[in-house]
């Protein structure tokens, strides 16, 4: 009897997860298909036009203009496959959420290239795939969430005031797609609930009413999400979250589920040392292609939806840097504090790149919070930074300046820059250093002293170990104060 049970369980696992080999092969061969012209998050509409044109001249694909943005940028739908079941995937309805846009072009390259012939034949004979990359090109141009009208397209499903929203609705209705993949980015500060793991990928099978009922349409989305979660766990264990399923009557995802399409929301979050989200892009590529394979084979139908609820909820308790148990003197009294620091991104004027302008976002008892980087400062005391007149504090000489407690240096300031790549803040000749204090909203620049010696520097929210060379330590930038 016991052997029979094990045999049945083994058969069930095979039915539910038969595509493990394709997933492994997709991950290992990814670099062959990665679109090399897209390497950073701040991509613009004009950068993807040559890629779309390439598919437009390829007989395997159908490309059609389906609309325009408010500022007149074309919205193109790229389709491939001959199957009777339509699958609709769209990305970047929020202009500053581009991870999946890059992954879409990786996926299109996959379908154009040799290799995986059996798997591609299975997918394309059963399904017809429709990709709409960069739904909000006007927002992408200035790297902002909203469109040129200043509205959130994902809250325009009822009024349909935006041409981008009307295009999305028109395509969904014309395709009557069985599955829809709504592809987003979320804050890197989300974590999987009750863990220190970032929510690298978060999923949601959107509700279609306030009661959060589960019908066949929503159930199918849950089953595919369970399958995708098992894939991500292989490469980013513990780093999957489940987005809140509170019903939002204005949102496209919720309404698309109501209109009869099994809606899979994918949110790309954070991953350690992956500022440009290239590893997360790869996880999108692998998990989406694997999901398309399970949809084509209909093997997802055997997955129990109860496993969907087992995915940890999204929480938001991550900092870029968390400093624990540091001693801070205020008015002659010592206090023990935790500090939570964000390294906020500030775009350059062309929205092509960014620099970091860090702030303390919280302080006190942060024992229920986590950090991508965590430093236990027990026994260390906060020491205010000093300012000095003009001196050489470039990278080769910065360490001696920092060891002397100097974080601000008078210098001739670059005309058009607001940040300094060396770990020293540059200031103008009239700059006066304010009285030092720690508080939420303040830039984290100070030193840590232990047994009378400055051993660490925190410059613009980046922690530097002064007992080591600065050359190979992770540092973003200091600031320029005029």
Specify whether 473 is located in the same domain as 358.
Answer: yes
Confidence of residue 430 (pLDDT cuts 50, 70, 90): confident
186 and 199 Cβ atoms separated by less than 8 Å: yes
Residue 333 Cα distances to 140, 329, 336, 341, 450, angstroms: 49, 5, 10, 23, 17
Shared domain for 68 and 204, answered yes or no, is yes
Tell me if 333 is assigned to some domain.
Answer: yes
Do 380 and 443 reside in the same domain of the chain? yes
- Helix, strand or coil, per DSSP, at residue 143: coil
On whether both 272 and 158 belong to a single domain, the answer is yes
Least confident span in 2-6, 33-37, 160-164: 2-6
At 302, which CATH number?
Answer: 3.40.630.10
pLDDT in tens, 271-296: 999 999 999 999 999 999 999 999 99
Going by C-alpha positions, the residue among 112, 140, 100, 128 that lies closest to residue 54 is: 112
336 vs 3, higher pLDDT? 336
Average the pLDDT over 400-405 and give the result.
94
Domain end residue (candidates: 265, 280, 315):
315
Least confident range of 11-15, 193-197, 208-212: 11-15
* One domain for residues 387 and 292: no
pLDDT bin (cut points 50, 70, 90) of residue 394 is low
Confidence label for 4 from pLDDT (cuts 50, 70 and 90): very low
Same domain, yes or no, for 289 and 370?
no
Across 14-23, 202-211, 331-340, 368-377, least confident range: 14-23
The residue range of the domain holding 284 is 21-315
CA 251 to chain centre: 20
Q: Is the Cβ–Cβ distance between 362 and 379 less than 8 Å?
A: no
**Mean pLDDT taken over the chain:** 94
Of 377, 355, 381, residue with least CA distance to 366: 377
Neighbour count for residue 14 (Cβ, 10 Å): 12
Whether residue 8 is contained in a domain is answered as: no
The verdict on 291 and 331 lying in the same domain is no
Domain-terminating residue out of 315, 341, 362:
315
Q: Is residue 338 predicted with pLDDT exceeding 50?
A: yes
Q: What is the pLDDT of residues 228-246, one digit of tens each?
A: 999 999 999 999 999 999 9
Selection from 70, 65, 69 nearest residue 52 by Cα: 65
Q: Given a cut of 70, is residue 72 above it in pLDDT?
A: yes
CATH of the domain at 343: 2.30.40.10
Mean pLDDT, range 16-37, rounded to an integer: 85
Residues 343 and 257 in one domain: no
Q: Of 242-251, 371-380, 424-433, 445-454, where does mean pLDDT reach its minimum?
A: 424-433
DSSP line for 272-319: TT-TT-HHHHHHHHHHHHHHHHHHHHTGGGGS-GGGGGGSPBEE--EE
Is residue 26 included in any domain, yes or no?
A: yes
pLDDT surpasses 70 at 208: yes
In a domain, 305, yes or no: yes
Q: pLDDT at residue 163 above 90?
A: yes
Residue 16 has pLDDT above 50, yes or no: no
Q: Tell me how many domains the chain contains.
A: 2
Report CA torsion sign: 106, 108, 114, 119: positive
Q: Token digits for 420?
A: 């300094």
Which 3-state string (H, E, C) describes 318-383?
EEEEEEEEEEEEECCEEEEEEEEEEEEEEECCCCCCEEEEEEEEEEECCCCCEEEEEEECCCCEEE
Q: Is residue 275 part of a domain?
A: yes
Confidence of residue 14 (pLDDT cuts 50, 70, 90): very low
The answer to whether residues 375 and 465 touch, using CB atoms and an 8 Å cutoff, is no
Same domain, 229 and 328: no
Shared domain check, 335 and 288: no
Same domain, 139 and 27: yes
CA-angle at 327, arms to 323 and 332, nearest 5°: 145
201 within domain boundaries: yes
13 falls in which pLDDT band (50, 70, 90)? Answer: very low
Per the domain annotation, does 88 fall within a domain?
yes
- Structural domain ending residue among the three candidates 265, 295, 315: 315
Stated length of the chain: 482
Mean pLDDT value across residues 456-464: 98
Backbone CA torsion sign across 88, 94, 96, 97: negative
Does any domain span residue 424?
Answer: yes
Verify that 172 and 251 share a domain, yes or no.
yes
pLDDT digits (tens, 9 = 90+) for 62-71: 999 999 999 9
């Amino acid at each position: 009897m016991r052997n029979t049970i094990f045999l049945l369980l083994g058969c069930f696992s095979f039915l539910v997860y038969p595509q493990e080999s394709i997933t492994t092969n997709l991950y290992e061969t990814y670099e062959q298909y990665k679109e090399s012209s897209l390497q950073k998050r701040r991509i613009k509409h004009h950068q993807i036009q040559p890629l779309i044109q390439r598919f437009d001249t390829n007989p395997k694909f159908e490309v059609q203009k389906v609309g325009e943005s408010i500022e007149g940028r074309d919205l193109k739908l790229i389709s491939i496959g001959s199957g009777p079941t339509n699958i609709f995937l769209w990305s970047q309805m929020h202009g500053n959420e581009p991870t999946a846009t890059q992954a879409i072009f990786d996926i299109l390259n996959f379908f154009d290239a040799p290799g995986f012939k059996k798997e591609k034949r299975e997918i394309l004979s059963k399904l017809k795939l429709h990709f709409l990359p960069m739904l909000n090109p006007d927002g992408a141009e200035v790297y902002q969430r909203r469109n040129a009208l200043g509205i959130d397209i994902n809250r325009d499903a009822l009024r349909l005031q935006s041409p981008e929203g009307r295009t999305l609705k028109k395509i969904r209705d014309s395709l009557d797609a069985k599955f829809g993949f709504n592809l987003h980015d979320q804050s890197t500060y989300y974590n999987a609930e009750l863990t220190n793991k970032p929510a690298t990928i978060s999923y949601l099978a959107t509700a279609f009413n306030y009661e959060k009922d589960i019908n066949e349409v929503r159930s199918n989305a849950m089953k595919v999400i369970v399958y995708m979660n098992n894939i991500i766990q292989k490469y980013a264990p513990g780093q999957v979250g489940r987005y809140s399923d509170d019903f939002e009557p204005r949102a496209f995802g919720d309404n698309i589920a109501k209109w009869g399409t099994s809606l899979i929301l994918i949110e790309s979050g954070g991953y350690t040392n992956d500022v440009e989200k290239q590893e997360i892009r790869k996880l999108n590529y692998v998990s989406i292609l694997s999901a398309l394979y399970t949809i084509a084979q209909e093997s997802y139908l055997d997955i129990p939806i109860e496993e969907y609820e087992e995915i940890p909820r999204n929480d938001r308790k991550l900092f870029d840097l968390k400093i624990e148990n540091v001693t801070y003197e205020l008015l002659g009294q010592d206090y023990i504090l935790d500090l939570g620091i964000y390294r906020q991104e500030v775009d350059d004027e062309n929205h092509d790149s960014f620099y970091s302008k860090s702030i303390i976002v919280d302080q006190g008892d942060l024992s229920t919070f986590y950090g991508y980087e965590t430093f236990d400062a027990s026994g260390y005391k906060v020491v205010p930074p000093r300012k000095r007149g003009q001196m050489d504090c470039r990278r080769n000489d910065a360490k001696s300046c920092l060891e002397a407690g100097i974080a601000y240096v008078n210098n001739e300031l670059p005309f058009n820059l607001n940040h300094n790549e060396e770990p020293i803040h540059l200031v103008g000749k009239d700059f006066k250093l304010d009285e030092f204090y720690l508080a939420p909203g303040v830039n984290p620049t100070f030193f840590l002293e232990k047994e009378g010696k400055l051993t660490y520097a925190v410059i613009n929210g980046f922690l530097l170990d002064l007992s080591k060379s600065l050359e190979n330590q992770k540092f973003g930038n200091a600031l320029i104060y005029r």
